[in-house]
Amino acid sequence: MPLFTRTRKQLYYEILLFWIFAGTSQAILTPEMRNGFPHVHFLYFWIVHCGLIITMFYATFIYKMRPKLKSTLISFVALQGYFIFVSLINKFTGANYFYLNAKPNAPSVLDLLGEWPYYILMAELLLIPYFLIIYFPFYLTRVKK
């Protein structure tokens, strides 16, 4: 994200738009919280996640950036590389980023997708349609013009 906000490159926008709207929407709908308000972790979670969405709205409406249909595929392919990178980080640190090693402790949409590793495969299958849903409002604005 810092690289995107600094450079405003279209490719970064196209990748991050789908990652952020898909991933952050799930985090906001089913947050894994150990502490409530006004704990610093609670505030950090909401500031970061809402800030990501605000940044993408800002880029869309102020910088007039728009994804193309092929951006959904570009974002999906980039995410596969990122998954590999995060899997290596998880392996060497014992972390569970992206919930690639186990589901979150709190109820989440992943509970509907089966046990490990099937929920990862199911999430992968749902990503392209989800990305297309995220793209749909941009498609509608292109059709209007």
Size (the chain), residues = 145
How far apart, in whole angstroms, are the C-alpha atoms of residue 120 and residue 102? 10
Helix ranges (H only) for 62-117 are: 70-93
Helix ranges (H only) for the chain are: 2-7, 10-19, 25-29, 40-61, 70-93, 118-144
How far apart, in whole angstroms, are the C-alpha atoms of residue 31 and residue 107? 9
Give the rounded distance of the alpha carbon of 27 from its chain centre: 9
For residue 145, the model assigns a pLDDT of: 58
For residue 113, the model assigns a pLDDT of: 94
Reading phi first (left if > 0) and then psi (alpha if -120 to 50, else beta), residue 94 is in left
121-130 CB contacts, 8 Å cutoff, 24+ apart: 127/22, 127/76, 127/79, 128/72, 128/73, 128/76, 130/22
Ranges of residues in the chain whose predicted pLDDT is under 70: 144-145
For residue 43, the model assigns a pLDDT of: 93
**pTM, two decimal places:** 0.88
For residue 144, the model assigns a pLDDT of: 66
For residue 31, the model assigns a pLDDT of: 83
